[in-house]
Structure 1
Amino acid sequence: MAGGLNFRPPAFQGPSGSCAPTTCHNQLAETLIRTFEANLGKRRADLDEDLKVLAAGRPDFKILRGMAHLLTNGSSTFEAGGDVEPSLVRERVFELAQAHPPSRLRRDLVLEQAARSLSVERPLSAEDVAAALYADLPDQQTLVAFDPPEPQALIERWDLAQAQGVLYRAYSLILTARPNEPARYKQLLKYTRFFGLMLTVEGDPVHGFTLTLDGPTSLFGGTTRYGLALSKFLPALLHVTKWDLTATLKPRRDLAWVDPKDEEWQFGLTSEDGYVSHYPEPKEYDSALESGFSERFAKLETPWRLEREVDLVPVPGGVILPDFRLAHEDGRSVLVEIVGYWRPEYLRKKFDLLRKSGRTDVIVCVSERLNLERAGVDPSDFDERLVWFKGILNPREVLAMAERLTTKPFSTG
């Protein structure tokens, strides 16, 4: 039996239970940010103690801990305090300790001797040496910098982190990208490759695309690393418009509100749910090659139009995301794919997908600096629509190829 999971966290209240949800969210975020700011220059142990006191007796202590975790790992910089490297201090102190019998006086004497021998750039006291001994341990490190987010940004980041935590336990994920903004889909698929996600792509530009991703528990034995990659993928997805996501996951039996008869849950999200990404907006162009080609093309007087928004082309085992479309005012058009990246795996994958697509309306522009032979790539299948370039890609050569290709019939798959 499958149970539904309406994940959006419920509104939480402060200790008195009297404030409105939005007010409580902001009050808690503001309080946490002030607490971190007040601990600048202090040890992490001191900060942890302040957070412990702050959480005592609060019904929303788990939310407080979650937001504090985000501030600790995303906005804070901790370093070993003092002017001397702790490992050097330990080495010197342990060396001196071998020459004295165990006693209380021995400790003070060793610290004083170590302080004198380590006083190079500035005088050190025995107390300085004692403080530096283990200053590199996590709880002894000093909060040296804190970049405070806006309270609303912290709330949004925490909200998204809850959904990411659910995806961490997913073993299958189906994503439907409705027809809209192909450039965003291109960025989406680049993120799936970046995070090493395994997926299949089906569909077309008219009806949309369906991406099926394997989740962490679908692998043999399951891997937390893959689950982490899947959860990191969600903020990238938020940059894409008009999508629906359904994840299947095993329920946690340790939760009191879980129906023991449920064997799995369905977790659903859509682009309209209001989550906010903390990832930067995708760049307009993926490389200097593309931006340079576009700039040079804009200076030409031609009946051809260079279009950036190009639909995805699904092929068996993947998808092609053409860099540009050349559209003539009389209705003719061709696709343009620029291959300037050198990694052998990328080159093999790129040409394999182009071959599988069966599309002959794709102009393939390849840098002469690439060692295709070494990568095991044979571009001879594309000779009639191949444009070689050295430092820069000349748009006139691409236009000439477009004219030749569109004067004879070609296959679009």
Structure 2
Amino acid sequence: MSQLTVTELFLIAMLLIFGLPYALWRLGRTDYWAPLVVVQIICGILLGPGLLGNWLPAFYQSVFSGAVIQTLNGLAWWAVMLFVWIAGVELDLKQAWQYRRESFITGGLALSVPFLFGAIAALLILQMGPYWLGTSGYLWQFVLGVGMACAVTALPILMLFMEKLGILRSPLGQRILRYASLDDIAIWAVLALILLDWDRLGRQVLFLALFFPASYFIRRLMGRVPVMDRWYLAFIWLAAVALIADWAGLHFMVGAFLAGVIVDVEWLGEKALDDMRHWVLLAFMPVFFLSTGLKTQWQLGGWMVFGAAAILLIAAVWGKLLGIKLAGWILGWQQGDAAIIAWLLQTKALIMIIFANVLLDKSIITADTFTALLLMAIGSTMLTIPRVTGLLARHSLQRNQPE
């Protein structure tokens, strides 16, 4: 393929990125246990250096040349910035505050128990050897990062799954969104703590000092301009905050989330934002999944990476189940609610992958740890729909039985 131009190689890569997942998803009819977004993540791993690079090294090196990867990375960065920004815009804590006792107890236990299990799992993995900790990472950053990766819930994918199950707008669905919203704040707060850089502390203080007055100005401005101007201003604001956050050492994804938090859904329109999330997920995020797959490594051997992923998966699943069970016991939930909520909050996929990407970019974890976390996220997310479908059917029968 040496005679092909960079543009042609880029388009071959795009054909693989969009064509392979769609073919597997549609022809394999995987939607029940692996929705398209999960298949896209899996295909990102398949097209990475550890698998395609080993099976067809000449083809891999030709298609995914340095110039092509650089171009794909640019698309992936913007895609994930948009996605995280949307997650920030959609964050609504009004309902959580209205039901604050239930929300804080459930959200707290849904996060803290799997975090504790994940932190223990991180320490166990480190006993397998020193090759899991990144070159720039400290022990506390690794434990905190891996623990949070086991606890995280992917709010955008959770909404997608609940819509698929027909419960998004139901009282149960709205409860689950309240719990997940609180976890969403904790995820980015912990990430900011992990990325705290004493050498650039002055920059980070300056970033926060500028962010709040600038946010006030943007909010006043966006409330006064036409809707289309709000979209343009939102994207300018997104790029500016992400840039300054990255310059300050907090990573551009933290900036993207903060840029979204101060934007009200009503300014842009709920339907327009839903449509945008759909199109970003459809048209841009597959490039991010491929970019993620290119970071996976199997240098320690598949069995060690899979072993670490299994430990992390057990910690994530059982931690979440126990945490939600405790919340249900404290709050006196009806029978069956805790299991449904716990399995839906297992959904990790995108947000955990984004979180782990930041840890890898900052060399807090190694590529092998990143691969294990990625496999854990895939496994946890794939368990969600099959488990919840059966639980919902049983739950509905119990509710409809005469007393």
Scaled by the length of structure 1, the TM-score of the pair is: 0.25
Greater Cα radius of gyration, structure 1 or 2: 1
Q: Give 1 or 2: higher strand fraction.
A: 1
Higher relative helix content: 2
